[in-house]
Homo-oligomer: A and B are copies of this chain.
Amino acid sequence: MSTNSDAGARRPVLALVGATGAVGTVMIDIMNARPSVPWGEVRLIASPRSAGRKITVRGAELTVVALSAEAFDGVDIAMFDVPDEVSAEWAPVAAARGAVAVDNSGAFRMDPEVPLVVPEVNADQISARPKGIIANPNCTTLSMMAALGALHREFELRELVVASYQAASGGGQAAIDRLYGELEALAGKEVGVRAGDVAEALEAAGLPLSESPFPAPLAFNVVPWAGSLKDEGWTSEELKVRNESRKILGIPDLKVSATCVRVPVVTTHSLAVHATFAREVTVEQAHKIFAGQPTIVLVDDPTAKKFPTPVDVVGEDPTYVGRVRQALDFPNTLDFFVCGDNLRKGAALNTYEIAEELVDRL
């Protein structure tokens, strides 16, 4: 995190593209809560349909302007919280107008000319940005990056086996609404008594699966599918965990297997992580490292049954880590459990942290 310490310098202009969306709204909350960078101007940009809306940022009422090339004139840093195809089209436009685009979509993450940044792990990569674009990682990957980055610096990460417990809000407001709707339709019913009865009850309640953002019921269920199908049966989400982890940590040959599963949780992704290092690592060493990280909260007291769970982490900035165990049969290996708010560190917060880091490197 940087502050613009030279009082004589021109204060940078920050744009937020997608200001009225779910992540954009969290972004504005974060800007209000983190006043360290005094922006010269904050410009809110959204689709033409949202233009004209008034939103208060840091005490000032701002009017949302429509997305256009001219909207980026004079902008130093443009944060994008929009769908992939909107970023793909407009981030280069912002860059061409002289802004650094910080993009939270999947459009540029694996582009070799675009750094993929988690500030506490690889802030040094912010300066080299040949396309004028910096990418923010996928929320599932992000949930474990602070913890893995800190361990990797000491013990050299080699292998990663991950299973996720992903919240509905990763699929946007429609996905949250679907989960609440399903639970309401099933309230008071004895479900799970016989195969298929949840799907039948949802159908009867006017909530057919064909209209769900999920490929199976989410209430009283878990759904081992996130994203779209890629090669060999792997989902896009599972490959993002692999490829983005490799790029962020700078380990091109990191071995990764991930299984991504949606669970009936509103917000906060959790991951069961099995991580193998080049050198031996004890629980005590890991605890010490985690406790020393400003963006990690260690909650790990098994005697008192204290560990992180998603509902403890909603709205929180840090990643929570617990259940740290030395693997009994795998050398140099730790098993642990992490929880991160997928809308904050997983999306808006990390994007804003990149913007803060950029202030001194424009």
**Chain B residues near A55 (CB, 8 Å)?**
none
In the assembly, what is the distance between CA of A13 and CA of B325, in Å? Answer: 47
Is there an interface contact between B220 and A264, defined as CB atoms closer than 8 Å?
yes
Is there an interface contact between B187 and A303, defined as CB atoms closer than 8 Å?
no
Q: Tell me whether A183 is interfacial, beta carbon within 8 Å.
A: yes
In the assembly, what is the distance between CA of A220 and CA of B255, in Å? Answer: 32
In the assembly, what is the distance between CA of A220 and CA of B220, in Å? Answer: 10
Query: Which of A16-24, A34-42, A137-145, A229-237 lies at the interface with chain B?
Result: A229-237
Q: Contact size class for A?
A: 35 or more
Is there an interface contact between A233 and B198, defined as CB atoms closer than 8 Å?
no
Query: Which of A60-68, A93-101, A189-197, A352-360 lies at the interface with chain B?
Result: A189-197
Name A312's contact: one of B191, B196, B232 (CB within 8 Å): B196
**Chain B residues near A300 (CB, 8 Å)?**
233
**Chain B residues near A151 (CB, 8 Å)?**
none
In the assembly, what is the distance between CA of A225 and CA of B308, in Å? Answer: 10
Is there an interface contact between A259 and B323, defined as CB atoms closer than 8 Å?
yes
Is there an interface contact between A316 and B233, defined as CB atoms closer than 8 Å?
no
Is there an interface contact between B220 and A315, defined as CB atoms closer than 8 Å?
no
Q: Tell me whether A184 is interfacial, beta carbon within 8 Å.
A: yes
**Chain B residues near A233 (CB, 8 Å)?**
283, 300, 302, 323-325
With both beta carbons as reference points, the residue of chain B lying nearest to A167 in the complex is identified as B192
In the assembly, what is the distance between CA of A89 and CA of B235, in Å? Answer: 50
In the assembly, what is the distance between CA of A197 and CA of B310, in Å? Answer: 11
Is there an interface contact between A257 and B327, defined as CB atoms closer than 8 Å?
yes
Q: Tell me whether A326 is interfacial, beta carbon within 8 Å.
A: yes
Is there an interface contact between B195 and A188, defined as CB atoms closer than 8 Å?
no
**Chain B residues near A222 (CB, 8 Å)?**
165, 263, 265, 270, 309-310
Is there an interface contact between B221 and A311, defined as CB atoms closer than 8 Å?
yes
**Chain B residues near A193 (CB, 8 Å)?**
267, 314-315
Q: Tell me whether A223 is interfacial, beta carbon within 8 Å.
A: yes
Is there an interface contact between A272 and B268, defined as CB atoms closer than 8 Å?
no
Instruction: Tell me which of A193, A303, A311 has the highest count of chain B C-beta atoms within 10 A of its own C-beta.
Output: A311
Q: Tell me whether A305 is interfacial, beta carbon within 8 Å.
A: yes
Is there an interface contact between A163 and B224, defined as CB atoms closer than 8 Å?
no
Is there an interface contact between B224 and A268, defined as CB atoms closer than 8 Å?
no
1/0 per position for A308-351, CB-CB distance to B under 8 A?
A: 11111111100000111111111001010100000000000000
User: What is the minimal beta-carbon distance from A231 to any residue of chain B, in angstroms?
Assistant: 9
**Chain B residues near A115 (CB, 8 Å)?**
none
Is there an interface contact between B264 and A224, defined as CB atoms closer than 8 Å?
no
* Contact flag A307-B261 (CB < 8 Å), given A194-B314, A220-B266: no
Closest 10 CB pairs of A and B: A192-B266, A163-B163, A255-B329, A259-B272, A163-B272, A215-B305, A198-B311, A161-B161, A224-B337, A233-B325
Give 6 A-B pairs besides A165-B261, A242-B329 with Cβ atoms closer than 8 angstroms. Answer: A184-B188, A191-B311, A192-B314, A222-B270, A224-B309, A233-B300
14 contacts between A and B (CB under 8 A): A161-B161, A193-B314, A197-B311, A197-B314, A199-B311, A220-B265, A222-B263, A222-B265, A224-B337, A232-B283, A233-B324, A254-B329, A259-B274, A264-B264
